[in-house]
């Protein structure tokens, strides 16, 4: 019963903080439009500029831009979770704040993909089955990696190890609320989020008014989920069940 009681205590506190944070920092809902615009511009730039021999640099450019957008979003979340406030200056500073850490994670993933391709070739694994196993493993074991990157002062490889340990210690309190939140997101938007570094929900909206309203509702829900994750992570990573149960008595 203690584990259920702790789950309720943790999520009651997290819900209260998350609602307050989203209301006070509602502009974060519109960052998805900015990121989508930048991504479209990036693709157009790559197609136009990186031709012929320059095409070998296209992947590096895309990775840097993508990492900078994720860095920007994480920095906004960092300020919301810790200070309950974001400014336009935070938005400008965010593009480079976590750039190195996130780019290194991308680099590790790139190396990992080469190793997995080699293993698949040698062992004769079914590519489809292997992709499912890898995706599920990342979604579970590294689910808290985004929050670890922007809320803990750790090097990229240490962030990976810490996030795995975090899941092992807090799997019930972390995975259950996240599963419920993303299930709600799917029911509202019809989108399944499998990218742990997602910064927005792409609803493929058109130009009509209702499409924009549906997009903003989906993006608002996604923003709430990311803020909720941040507050939940901070609470779980800075306390223990015994400490939380003790403090709840007061």
pLDDT tens, position by position, 176-185: 999 999 999 9
In tens, the pLDDT along 155-172 reads: 999 999 999 999 999 999
Is 159 buried (19+), middle (13-18) or exposed (0-12) by CB count in 10 A? buried
The domain total for the chain is 1
Q: How many CA atoms lie within 13 A of 154 on its CB side?
A: 17
Where does the pLDDT of residue 17 fall: very low under 50, low under 70, confident under 90, or very high at 90 and above? very high
- Average confidence (pLDDT) over 3-13: 92
pLDDT of residue 125: 63
Determine, yes or no, domain membership for 250. Answer: no
Condensed to tens digits (0 to 9), the pLDDT of residues 20-60 reads 999 999 999 999 999 999 999 999 998 888 887 878 888 89
In a domain, 186, yes or no: yes
- Which domain range does residue 189 map to? 2-243
Decide if 249 is inside a domain. Answer: no
Position 81 in a domain = yes
User: What integer best gives the mean pLDDT of the chain?
Assistant: 90
**Tokens read off for 101:** 């850490």
Domain assignment of residue 43, yes or no? yes
The DSSP 8-state label assigned to residue 208 in this structure reads S
* Number of Cβ within a 10 Å radius of residue 245: 14
The whole-angstrom separation of Cα 170 and Cα 233 is 9
pLDDT at 249: 61
CA separation for the pair 121, 112 (Å, rounded): 14
């Amino acid at each position: 019963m203690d584990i259920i009681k702790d789950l309720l205590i943790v999520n009651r506190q997290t819900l209260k903080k998350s609602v307050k944070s989203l209301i006070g920092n509602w502009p974060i809902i519109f960052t998805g439009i900015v990121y989508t615009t930048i991504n479209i511009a990036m693709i157009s730039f790559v197609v136009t500029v990186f031709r012929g021999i320059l095409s070998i640099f296209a992947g590096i450019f895309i990775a840097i831009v993508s990492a900078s957008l994720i860095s920007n979003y994480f920095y906004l979340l960092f300020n919301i979770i810790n200070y309950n406030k974001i400014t336009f200056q935070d938005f400008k500073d965010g593009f480079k704040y976590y750039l190195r850490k996130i780019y290194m994670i991308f680099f590790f993933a790139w190396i990992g993909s080469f190793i997995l391709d080699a293993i698949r070739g040698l062992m004769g694994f079914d590519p489809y089955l292997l992709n499912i196993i890898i995706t599920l493993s990342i979604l579970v074991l590294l689910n808290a990696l985004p929050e670890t990157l922007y809320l803990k002062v750790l090097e990229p490889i240490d962030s990976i190890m810490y996030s795995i340990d975090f899941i092992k210690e807090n799997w019930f309190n972390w995975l259950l609320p996240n599963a419920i939140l993303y299930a709600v997101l799917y029911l509202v938007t019809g989108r399944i989020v499998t990218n742990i570094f997602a910064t927005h929900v792409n609803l493929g909206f058109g130009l009509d008014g209702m499409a924009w309203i549906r997009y903003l509702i989906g993006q608002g829900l996604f923003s709430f989920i990311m803020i909720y994750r941040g507050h939940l992570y901070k609470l779980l990573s800075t306390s223990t069940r015994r400490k939380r149960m003790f403090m709840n008595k007061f």
